[in-house]
Amino acid sequence: MAITLLSVFTGCRDKTDPSTWNDKQIDKWFEKSDWLNGWQVKPDESINRKMLAVSYFKHKDRWDKAFLFLRDHDLKTMEIKRYDIDSDNLYAPISEYYTKKDADARYEAHKTYADIQYVISGKELIGITGMDDVKEMLESYDASRDIMFMSVNTIKNSQADPGKFFIFFPDDVHRPGLRDGDSTLVRKIVVKVKLD
């Protein structure tokens, strides 16, 4: 069931190749936070640092534009719609919705895009696990929507609020939009970063 990411994350164009870095080098790069381009929101601990580093150096222009967009816009007042930052290589829908019960949400994963998910206002829980934890495919991959749905063996939820953001790569199965207590209104941006 596991998706091989080698083809997605090979061929970095930068002279530095993070795929060869050890954990200490990855952590040093990640914690220095230059890749955030001054955006002052903390990355969640669930982010796969090595995948981020490899993808960042392969498509630095896309990742830089993504974080500059997050830094330079007043996300609380922007219109609810899709923002095309760099055509289909990089876009960001802003939405508002009420958080759901567990039973009304499904785990999902993508193949073509990474998600930078940030709750602008409100709070929600996001279920996060790995592709190796998939129990059953509920809906096979739909390339036109870059999404597939599944059930998982292990349920682990993380709180999402304006203090931190998440990044989900193809191996990151996730279930966003869950209520934490009562259902509440959430405003969220999901920046879609093409990985090819």
The tens digit of pLDDT for each residue in 33-91 reads 999 999 999 999 999 999 999 999 999 999 999 999 999 999 999 999 999 999 999 99
40 domain-assigned? yes
How far apart CA 59 and CA 56 sit, in angstroms, is: 5
Examine the pLDDT at 15 and tell me if it is beyond 60.
no
158 domain-assigned? yes
CB of 19 closer than 8 Å to CB of 9? yes
1 domain-assigned? no
How far apart CA 118 and CA 47 sit, in angstroms, is: 13
Percent composition of the chain: helix, strand, coil (DSSP 3-state, to 5): 25, 40, 35
- pLDDT for 16 equals 73
6 domain-assigned? no
- Average pLDDT across the chain, whole number: 93
CB environment 34-68: b (16+ within 10 A), e (fewer)? ebbbebeeebbebbbbbbbbbbbbbbeebbbbbbe
57 domain-assigned? yes
How far apart CA 155 and CA 54 sit, in angstroms, is: 28
What is the number of structural domains in the chain?
Answer: 1
DSSP category for residue 153: S
CATH number at residue 71: 2.60.120.370
pLDDT, greater one: 17 or 7: 17
105 domain-assigned? yes
Domain of residue 124 covers 18-194
